[in-house]
Amino acid sequence: MKYFWRTTGMFFILLAGKYSSAQYTHQDTLRGTIGPERAWWDVLRYDISVTPDYNKKSITGRTTIQYKVLPNQKSDYLQIDLQKPLNIDTLFYDDKLYINYPGKPYYNEGNVWHIPLPKAQVNSIHSISIAYHGNPRIAVRAPWDGGWIFTRDEKGRPWMTVACQGLGASVWYPCKDHQSDEPDNGATLSVTVVDSLVAVGNGRLKNKTSTNGMTTWIWEVKNPINSYNLVPYIGKYVNFTDTLAGEKGTLDCSYWVLDYNLDKAKKQFGRDVKPMLHCFEYWMGPYPFYEDSYKLVESSHLGMEHQSATAYGNHYMNGYYSGGQGFDLSGSGWGMKWDYIIIHESGHEWFANNITTNDIADMWVHEGFTDYSEPLFVECQYGKKAADEYCQGLRRNIQNDRPVIGPYGVNKEGSGDMYAKGANMLHTIRQVINDDEKFRQILRGLNRDFYHKTVDSRDVEKYMSEKSGIDLSKIFDQYLRTTKVPVLEYKMNDRKLRYRWTNCVDGFNMPVQIGTGHELWLKPTTSWQEMELPLNYSMDEINKNFYITVKKAG
């Protein structure tokens, strides 16, 4: 989750940047495109070591990238992303000190390093290791403005972490900073800190060693992981654990919180986590990372979906924390009965972490489905009517300022409407399918058939059409690629009803239901249709779960 909500008066405003094509630079293309220097190698594993210096606000580190050579090597160079002002100190290729090629040295171009390497056999496995140091970009207002976070807890003790979605993991370690290439064989994260602090990372604690007043905490992730999800948390943490009897067996649950918040955490996490996990497993399939465990880690910022180490900063409040209190983003009242960050950020384990988009232009797949996990949780806890009210209430946050899908190849996402509009589009599609069990199997099927994979929006759209047996393409085009809310326009003369779609894409023909629980369906197109409306029905009873506008024509 990159975008969060803030309160302004009685309204919730999405903090989303606006971009024009004139702002795209060569650096945007280098970051957002799989060019020749990225296309020929596939990341297999990251091994990251980092030592932060709180007082100097600096880090030193070393990252080893194991990779496989692909058939399409059209460049002698390998592109490594590492954002300024961080600098490379030393390179190692296949565990040997890297020596510059005569007349072809490695060189820096902004946030990118171009490193010439010898031609290698297809499918051969190699490694490049990068030692680096510097003062990383500091997050001014995490997670809205990303970077390394050097702050203090309520007792004045150092508290550090990273938030870098969108900005990119290369803000703190060298990597192939593109969502399409996750390390197939996982990663390790080694964090060295003073003995008085605790370092937490993704996955499971593999080892812990101490010497000369410093302790190195080594964490390991077995599964593929998006580069921005790999982060350290450093502070005066204490740990408590639990287990869940889940669909794939016993799921280990681990919680790392500041020592003075232990009692609050046990109460808040104990109430919401297990019901949430059972609900999400029912709707979306087994938790995708049993091998790496489920974990919440208290953070100084509001939250982020760091795989198997979710950042939690909602201050142990119900609703969405802002300005010292919790808010219901839907205005329905249902959002104040549970902790927003626990539910939303955990939902990302299925959509964003298990299923990741190749380009952040398609980030609605992460945020739309995860926003829809909120009404699914409400439905599990309080019933379908409550879920409908919650989802409909989210519409007040939709801006319709620009399309949900952004420009491709330049590392830019689309409108922040990917959250509430994405959720309401999915709720609308659920009504069109008109079979909750089939809809549930589609959600589970997505997580099964795209398990630990990267996808494009079109892959998800095609899958949902095929599995539902309904051509949903025009619905996706309408809600994802335009800012228009479709208008169901109608005329009534006695009981003779004429109706059509306007303010829509060509060929838009979404059926719509009159009333809930009734079986009267209209099948509008962009041309006028005509029918006798039965006495028991009224156009005032159009199912409100469809995200549309109904308008009587003059």
Which residues does 393 contact at the CB level (< 8 Å), separation at least 6?
A: 328, 329, 330, 331, 332, 334, 335
String of b and e for 487-508 (b: at least 16 CB within 10 Å)? bbbbeeeeeebebbbebbbeeb
Angle of CA points 305, 306, 308, to nearest 5°: 110
Q: How far apart are CA 247 and CA 245, in angstroms?
A: 7
Q: Output the pTM of the full model.
A: 0.95
Q: What is the pLDDT of residues 317-332, one digit of tens each?
A: 999 999 999 999 999 9
Whole-Å CA distances, 196 to 84, 132, 191, 217, 311: 30, 25, 14, 13, 21
Q: How far apart are CA 255 and CA 241, in angstroms?
A: 6
Joined together, the tokens standing for residue 7 give 């309160």
Q: How many helices (H) and strands (E) does the chain have?
A: 10, 32
What pLDDT shows up at residue 517?
67
What pLDDT shows up at residue 20?
38
Q: What is the mean pLDDT of each run of 10 residues along the chain (554 residues)?
A: 39 34 84 97 98 98 98 92 97 93 88 95 97 97 92 98 96 98 98 98 98 98 98 98 98 98 98 98 98 98 98 98 96 98 98 98 98 98 98 98 97 97 98 98 98 98 98 98 98 94 98 84 97 90 96 90
Output Rg (C-alpha) for the chain, integer angstroms. 25
Beta strands in 305-374 (DSSP E): 310-312, 320-322, 325-327, 355-357
Q: How far apart are CA 312 and CA 342, in angstroms?
A: 7
CATH number, span 1-32+236-483: 1.10.390.10
Residue 465: is it exposed, middle or buried by C-beta count within 10 angstroms (0-12/13-18/19+)? middle
What pLDDT shows up at residue 15?
34
What pLDDT shows up at residue 99?
84
The gap between the terminal CA atoms of the chain, to the nearest Å, is 44
Beta strands in 96-236 (DSSP E): 96-97, 107-109, 112-116, 125-134, 147-152, 158-163, 187-194, 198-200, 204-211, 214-221, 233-235
What pLDDT shows up at residue 536?
85
Cis peptide before 85 (omega within 30 of 0): yes
The residues facing 133 across adjacent strands are 60, 87
- Residue 122's Cβ-side half-sphere holds a number of Cα atoms within 13 Å equal to 6
Joined together, the tokens standing for residue 200 give 């937490």
Joined together, the tokens standing for residue 291 give 């091998």
Looking only at the bridges linking them, the beta strands covering 107-109 and 112-116 are: antiparallel
Longest Cα–Cα distance of the chain, Å, equals 88
What pLDDT shows up at residue 1?
59
String of b and e for 109-124 (b: at least 16 CB within 10 Å)? eebbbbbbbeebeeee
DSSP per-residue letters across 121-148: -TT-EEEEEEEEEE-PPBPSSTTTS-EE
Joined together, the tokens standing for residue 433 give 């399918």
Q: What is the pLDDT of residues 414-439, one digit of tens each?
A: 999 999 999 999 999 999 999 999 99
Joined together, the tokens standing for residue 153 give 């807890």
Q: How far apart are CA 22 and CA 104, in angstroms?
A: 33
The answer to whether 548 touches 490, Cβ cutoff 8 Å, is no
36-234 placed in CATH 2.60.40.1730: yes
Whole-Å CA distances, 507 to 478, 486, 490, 502, 525: 10, 12, 18, 11, 7
Cis peptide before 143 (omega within 30 of 0): yes
Nearest in space to 328 (alpha carbons), one of 316, 339, 315, 312: 339
For the chain, what is the mean pLDDT? 94
String of b and e for 263-301 (b: at least 16 CB within 10 Å)? eebeebbeebbbebbebbbebbbbbbbbebbbbbbbbbb
Which residues does 541 contact at the CB level (< 8 Å), separation at least 6?
A: 514, 515, 518
What pLDDT shows up at residue 101?
74
Nearest in space to 417 (alpha carbons), one of 304, 305, 547, 317: 547
> In the chain, where does the domain assigned CATH 2.60.40.1730 lie?
36-234
The residues facing 498 across adjacent strands are 491, 530
What pLDDT shows up at residue 95?
95
Joined together, the tokens standing for residue 140 give 């001014």
